[in-house]
Amino acid sequence: NAGVTQTPKFQVLKTGQSMTLQCAQDMNHNSMYWYRQDPGMGLRLIYYSASEGTTDKGEVPNGYNVSRLNKREFSLRLESAAPSQTSVYFCASSDLGLTQHFGDGTRLSIL
Amino acid sequence: GENVEQHPSTLSVQEGDSAVIKCTYSDSASNYFPWYKQELGKGPQLIIDIRSNVGEKKDQRIAVTLNKTAKHFSLHITETQPEDSAVYFCAATPQELSGGGADGLTFGKGTHLIIQP
């Protein structure tokens, strides 16, 4: 049982480049989330999708877009990467009222 | 929005002793309080959670207490072992249990727990 799978695990970008972080879950969960984790800051919510076909902004959405492709997949896109977006990105999923399950993260460096 | 404060940022205890991590929250509508453990290079993993209709919950060496009036909750680990060394995060959310959407979690900034042999 894979749970929440994130790809890639590591990525280095140059300022201004674009990329999409992929996330897929195999637990048939309705809700999916993207967080970023910075040293000393804990995890902060970027965007979430309460159910297939809906997305909402979290605490730090600027510079990001998301797509809920289907019930399994929720992608995060950086259109024009900036050094301030260097971070570890975590995807999570949950069913209504239940625990959020996290992937192992994508470590993104922007030069 | 919700604000979660977590203390201490670093906690060092002798193996076998107890460890306590404390969190406070600001939004009285929050009703779900999970605790996550994060090991190096891994994503956070849930270790215990509590809902606002319960004051205390235990699972073997781990317990969580909740004081809704004071808006604080705590994680207690007894008989600590080397494998307890990790970063621990508390979180809070006004989680809906039926219908509607499911909001994201608001996390504390984490506690680095070090178990000294």
Q: Which residue has the tokens 């090991």?
A: B39
Residue A110 is predicted with a pLDDT of 97
Q: What is the pLDDT of residues B22-38, one digit of tens each?
A: 999 999 989 889 999 99
- How many angstroms away from the CA of B13 is the closest CA of chain A? 21
In chain A the beta strands, taken as DSSP E runs, fall at 4-7, 10-13, 19-25, 31-38, 42-49, 56-57, 65-68, 74-78, 87-94, 101-102, 106-110
Burial class (CB in 10 A: 0-12, 13-18, 19+), A14: exposed
Residue B102 is predicted with a pLDDT of 56
Q: Is the CB of residue B102 less than 8 Å from the CB of residue A50?
A: yes
Q: What is the pLDDT of residues B60-72, one digit of tens each?
A: 999 999 999 999 9
Interface of A with B (CB under 8 A): 4, 30-31, 33, 35, 40-45, 48, 50-51, 54, 56, 58-59, 90, 92, 94, 96-97, 99-105
Q: Give mean pLDDT, residues A25-46.
A: 92
Residue B100 is predicted with a pLDDT of 40
Confidence check: pLDDT of A83 > 60: yes
Residue of A100, A102, A104 to mutate, interface with B, max B Cβ within 10 Å: A100
Residue B36 is predicted with a pLDDT of 96
Contact B107 A43 (CB under 8 A): yes
Q: How confident is the model at residue B54 (pLDDT cuts 50, 70, 90)?
A: confident
Nearest to A96 among B41, B96, B104 (CB): B96
Q: What is the pLDDT of residues A86-101, one digit of tens each?
A: 999 999 999 866 689 9
Contact B102 A102 (CB under 8 A): no
